[in-house]
Amino acid sequence: MLTLNEAYKVYNKIAFQLPVEEVSLTTALNRVLSEDIITDINMPPFDKSAVDGYAFCADDQNKTLQVIDAVYAGSSSVKKVNHGTCIKITTGAPVPKGADAVVMIEDITDLGDGFIEINRKPAKSNICKMGEDIVSGETILEKGTLILPQQIAVLASAGNTKPKVFTLPRVAIIATGNEIIEPDREPNASQIRNSNSYNLLGQLLKIGITGNYMGIVADDKDDITGRLKNALNAQDIVIITGGVSVGEHDYIPYVLEELGLELQFDKLAIQPGKPVSFASSENKFCFGLSGNPVSSFLQFELLVKPLIYKIMNYEYKLPFIVTELSGTLKRKNAERLKFVPVKLDKKGAAREVAFNGSADIVGLTKADGFAMFPKDCEVLTTGEKVEVLLIL
């Protein structure tokens, strides 16, 4: 049975990269840049006032200054500031010649007739200098950057309205199980509503991917084979839930091999989530996730998301923090790395939430993350450091 780290080593061998396409600024969110972005302008592009006030000579000994012009954002002044004079200026406007400081409007008295008095000289210049953030020709975003709203702002500033990015993978979701019904139906005594598919669609959407839901398949080897075959033809990644453990209806790992994929692993030393299979060919990837909802949620975060980012060329790091444990964690069997749903208190310490195991999706909704209970460790007590995988 592989450990989680050994599973990631399997990913290191994957060479497949998604193709490149051009997107607009409004569709760039959650994409990964396939090129460096170089700016054609300085940022700021000119010496710019950071405040509303009066531009003057910082070493001026006069307290009373004559206001000789006004300059607003989007315009500039042809006048030059000399000792004894100043120019009214708004935030974002270019600082006029001769001036090297801006006094804030709150720190002057308007004497009327075009004169002001400085009550308090500014402690700093209040000028954003041309090129102090970025100089024209510099690389401002590197290939492999995940585009979040702040990166979109940078692209816009640099005038790059058509960044080249890696395409999003096409991802299919299939649920299996004779007992599984759609959520709008009333279950009978032996049925379970399909929560996994909608959970996974949400997890995909959070990273910008609209998954293709392909419905529920019965525990029938031929049906599953047929549905998987269709899915693999049209998609890059197929996620199937249920039917991966050792029950007599659990065919998935065998079916994957029959379809020409190479089975990379079919269980991992993690708890919950041990039954999980991953199979791949050169350009197709298939996950068989557990039927239990918390397991499938965790397996997506631990395994599917890193694979998606890998083929999108983004070096994803799982969102771990190190914090203190509040309360005690105990167990007898420490053969696997255990993920314990925890809530972070006001000080950031992690406390176990009431949780009934891998089917308890309601318990999971109370958690901020999963504390890692390392393999071979049977007790963790209050105050000990734990790593927590945040649920973001």
* Rounded-to-10 torsion of CA 294, 299, 304, 310: 130
Piece of 240-248, 317-325, 342-350, 352-360 that binds Mg ion (CB under 5 A): 240-248
d(CA 25, CA 237) in angstroms, rounded, equals 26
Indicate whether 62 belongs to the interface with ligand AMP (CB under 6 A): no
What would the x/- binding string for Mg ion be over residues 200 to 239, using CB under 5 A? ----------------------------------------
Secondary structure letter of residue 57 according to DSSP: -
Could you please report the per-residue DSSP string of 302-368? IIIHHHHHHHTT------EEEEEEES-EE-S--SSEEEEEEEE-TT--EEEPP---TT-HHHHTT-S
d(CA 50, CA 131) in angstroms, rounded, equals 14
d(CA 244, CA 316) in angstroms, rounded, equals 27
What is the nearest approach in angstroms of ligand AMP to the Cβ of residue 308? 20
Region 242-281 residues binding ligand AMP, contact defined as CB under 6 A: 242-245, 247
Which CB sits closer to Mg ion, 32 or 216? 216
**Cα distances (angstroms) measured from residue 71 to each of 49, 60, 66:** 10, 20, 15
What is the nearest approach in angstroms of ligand AMP to the Cβ of residue 193? 7
Which CB sits closer to ligand AMP, 218 or 334? 218
Which CB sits closer to ligand AMP, 203 or 292? 292
Widest pairwise Cα distance in the chain: 94
What is the nearest approach in angstroms of ligand AMP to the Cβ of residue 198? 9
d(CA 95, CA 81) in angstroms, rounded, equals 10
Residue of 169, 211, 273, 291 interacting with Mg ion (CB under 5 A): 291
Region 357-376 residues binding ligand AMP, contact defined as CB under 6 A: none
Residue of 69, 100, 138, 179 interacting with ligand AMP (CB under 6 A): 179
d(CA 49, CA 289) in angstroms, rounded, equals 56
Indicate whether 192 belongs to the interface with ligand AMP (CB under 6 A): yes
Which CB sits closer to Mg ion, 273 or 291? 291
Contacting positions for ligand AMP (CB under 6 A): 175, 177, 179-180, 192, 194-197, 241-245, 247, 290-293
